Amino acid sequence: MNWRFGEVGWRLLPGAIATILMAGLLNVGLIKPLEQVAYTSLFRLRGERQWDDRLVLVTIDDTSLKQIGRFPWKRTEYVNLIDRLTQADASVIAIDILLSEPTPEDATLAKAIERSNRVILAQGETEPGVPLLPVPKFQTAAVGSGHIRIQPDEDGVTRSIEPQANRVWAFGVAATMTYSMLREAIAVPDLSQGLWLNWTGRAEQIPHYSFARVVRGEVPAAAFRHKIVVMGVTATAIDAAPTPFDRNPPASGVHLQATLIDNVLQRSTLKPIALGEMTLLFFAIGGIGFSVLLSYWRTGIQFAITTFAVAGWVGISVVLLKVNYLPPVVLPIGLMMSSAIATVLIERSRMNIALQRQSNQLQQRYESALVTRPIEDLDQFSPATSMQRLTQLTTLADQLGRSETTQAAIARSSSIGLIASDLEGRVWFCNPIAAPLLNIKVGSLLEPILVPNWIGMNEWQQVLRNPQPITIEKRRQDQWFCFQIEPLETRTDGVLIVIEDITLRKSIELDLGDQITELNQLSDLKDEYLSTVSHELRTPLTNMKIAIQLLKIAKTEIQKEHYLRILDNECNRESDLVNTLLDLQRLESGQQSFDIAPIDLHTWLPALLESFDRRTESRQQTFTLVIDPSLPRLNSDQGALDRIIVELINNACKYTPPNEQIVVSVDWVTPHVELSVKNSGVEIAEEARSQIFERFYRVPKADPWKQGGSGLGLALVQKLVESLQGTIEVTSENRWTIFTVKLPIHST
């Protein structure tokens, strides 16, 4: 018991040392500079991405300064730019220049800003907490403003931007919010914490045009139409801002704002994996576990495992960066490398101590017969002759290994088959387990017994020529065996063959593998469902938040009414989504109660579908209801049946193009009532039909009216039909799509 505890402690010790070492380096701040280097390297390994085509820069570059004059310029230059961009129908004009000093031309520029009604201004600060605002006329005329405060790290690279400072949104966030309300809805990221920049690529790859060329009309209007246009300074030595892709020469501050806008537009802001207590604990356990893993292998394999693990973590980090996550790099790699070094050093020292102790013990026991020089004399030798101890130990172990006493002990105590042979394949030892298993005895030749049942001829010949470790798992009838060949310490003495019955272990492995696969599938389904629900619930909330922000800055009653309508629609959308999810949950848990009563479909159904006549007529769709005259009364839940029919017809209206047909028919096909909803002009692909009743699934590119939806309607319909003991199926061919519901005439 004490030995086992001590052995476990030795295996844990290297990882503990590595963990303490890395914790100390982290505590004194020596990890941070290395992580900053790794940060830049990760982006370069990941490579550049495509900039969002809704973003374009107008740059005050060296050419513009040369043609227009030294900076700052007269306000009329900005008036010309704003007028040209407004005429080009730019969605947002974001001016990344501080216009805080009043001039006689301010009134003209203020009118241009107000006339454009799409200008966002930059706001700085004179010192922390003291804002540097635009000229009041400009601030009143603009639709909004945003702060441009950045805080670069020690290496000069800005990694994150505060989304809000002094109750003012960041410049890039304000520009994107304005675009979201004026042009198209954009899902804004979590603004309660810093926004980490996910660098897209080199600054020169952003679509950009010189200020001078734009005001002269040399750039076509199409370059700015429906886009966010950011104007800022990129001239040499002005507002320099290094990035992982632009170090020498560096990029400019306007490129930081462009990166933030690109991140928000593409929903790609970086999510750093913070080194919190749980993360540090995970790495600590991982470092200790890594040292335990290494302790089971020899040095060469330890080196290979460490190299593979380091390369693997780098690869994982690059993959995580591709999906917008920033993992720590230096800490885990440092843990692995320091664990490996500590493991090797500790194992070497332990091996040296163990060999010395064993040599001393064996010499004391067999000194008179095996050692030619007294032990006292050996202790006086220089360290170089300590190899003599190892030589004596090897010789003694070889003799003991061939002795009858050792063979008898192995035969009595071992639960596995052991066979020793020379390099001609002749057995000189086998224990009682191996003898009946292979029908072998001392003096037998191994080749006719092992080849080809246990090992191939070529492999066996290779073993005899140059013994190397080999491990093979073989199935013999209903049993599994592990067949191992190991060269003896002195290779010329031959090889040791070990045969172990691993049937139980294999059975456990197979069972565990099946269970793990099933658990992984369940975990994946859970994660996918939670992710989708989270996304669907967050989208209306995000839109409501944006509408509230814009409602606060709305200047006219028309704008206020517009934003209130948006809020009302998004509230209804959120409520419908939650109610549908609750209905699905009640149906799946069996908690939904049904009120079964007779329903006269001849009178009830036309009244229910009356509202669809006007809806389909407004969309130039033909709507037809056909009811079998012989149809009996249907015993079912009227509310559930109402929901089923309305959802199916809503679905048909949504996906039916103009000048096409929607036909609702009810037939009596003993013993079921068949309700069919079919629409023309559209087909559902075969691969989509297998997923159409899944939650949140929407048929790609099949919504001609651009209504959107939650993707829960058909999933709810299927659950309701099954709860009413019915079935539902879908067919789609020859430009017709048909949903058929079969309900028993008497539901229970």
Q: How far apart are CA 133 and CA 481, in angstroms?
A: 80
**In terms of domains, do 413 and 519 share one?**
no
Q: Which residues pair with 736 in a beta bridge?
A: 680, 733
- Residues 296, 325 within the same domain: yes
Residues 668 and 640 in one domain: yes
> Which one of 217, 250, 267 terminates a domain?
267
Map tokens 């969605």 to a residue. 91
Do residue 620 and residue 665 come from a single domain? yes
- Say whether both 41 and 156 belong to one domain: no
Q: How many domains does the chain have?
A: 6
Handedness of CA 435, 438, 439, 440 (dihedral sign): negative
Q: Does the residue 502 lie in any domain?
A: no
Residue 384: predicted pLDDT: 38
pTM above 0.75, yes or no: no
Least confident of 497-506, 512-521, 634-643: 512-521
* 286 and 261 fall within a common domain: no
Q: What is the 3-state secondary structure (H, E, C) of 132-150?
A: ECCCHHHHHHCCEEEECCC
653 lies in a domain?
yes
Q: 690: which residues sit within 8 A by CB, 6+ positions away?
A: none
Q: Which residues contact 421 (CB under 8 A, 6 or more apart)?
A: 427, 428, 446, 494, 495, 497
SS3 94: strand
Shared domain for 700 and 677, answered yes or no, is yes
Say yes or no: 173 and 204 in one domain: yes
Q: What's the pLDDT score for residue 521?
A: 62
Do 585 and 546 fall within a single domain?
Answer: yes
Contact 58, 77 (CB under 8 A): no
Domain stop point among 337, 368, 398: 398
Q: What own/partner pairs with CB < 8 Å and gap ≥ 24 does 722-725 have?
A: 723/587, 723/592, 723/594, 723/640, 724/594, 724/636, 724/637, 724/640, 724/641
- Residue 344 and residue 675: Cα distance in Å, rounded? 74
Q: d(Cα 265, Cα 154) in Å, to the nearest integer?
A: 29
* Mean of per-residue pLDDT scores for the chain: 80
The CATH number that applies at residue 539 is 1.10.287.130
DSSP state of 222: G
Q: What is the pLDDT of residue 368?
A: 47
Q: Is 684 exposed, middle or buried (0-12, 13-18, 19+ CB in 10 A)?
A: middle
| pLDDT tens-digit readout, 61-95 | 999 999 998 888 899 999 999 999 999 999 999 99
Which range marks the domain in which residue 382 is found?
356-398
Q: Is residue 668 part of a domain?
A: yes
Same structural domain, 122 and 216: yes
Q: How many CB atoms lie within 10 A of CB 200?
A: 24
pLDDT band for position 700 (cuts 50, 70, 90):
low
Residue 627 included in any domain: yes
Mean pLDDT of 284-291: 80
CB 449, CB 434: distance < 8 Å: no
> Which residues are within 8 A (CB) of 363 and not within 5 positions of it... i.e. 6 or more apart?
370, 371, 375, 378, 392
Q: Which of 267, 297, 328 is the last residue of a domain?
A: 267
Please state whether beta strands 661-669 and 672-680 pair in parallel, antiparallel, or not at all (unpaired): antiparallel
Residues 245 and 316 in one domain: no
Q: Residue range 341-352: average pLDDT?
A: 83
- How confident is the model over 115-124, as a mean pLDDT? 93
Q: State the virtual CA torsion across 656, 657, 660, 662 in degrees, nearest 10.
A: 20
Let me know whether 65 and 37 are in one domain: no
503 falls within a domain: no
Helices of type H across 71-230:
75-87, 106-116, 136-141, 171-182, 211-215
Strands (E), 571-616: 596-599
Residue 678 in contact with residue 649, Cβ under 8 Å? no
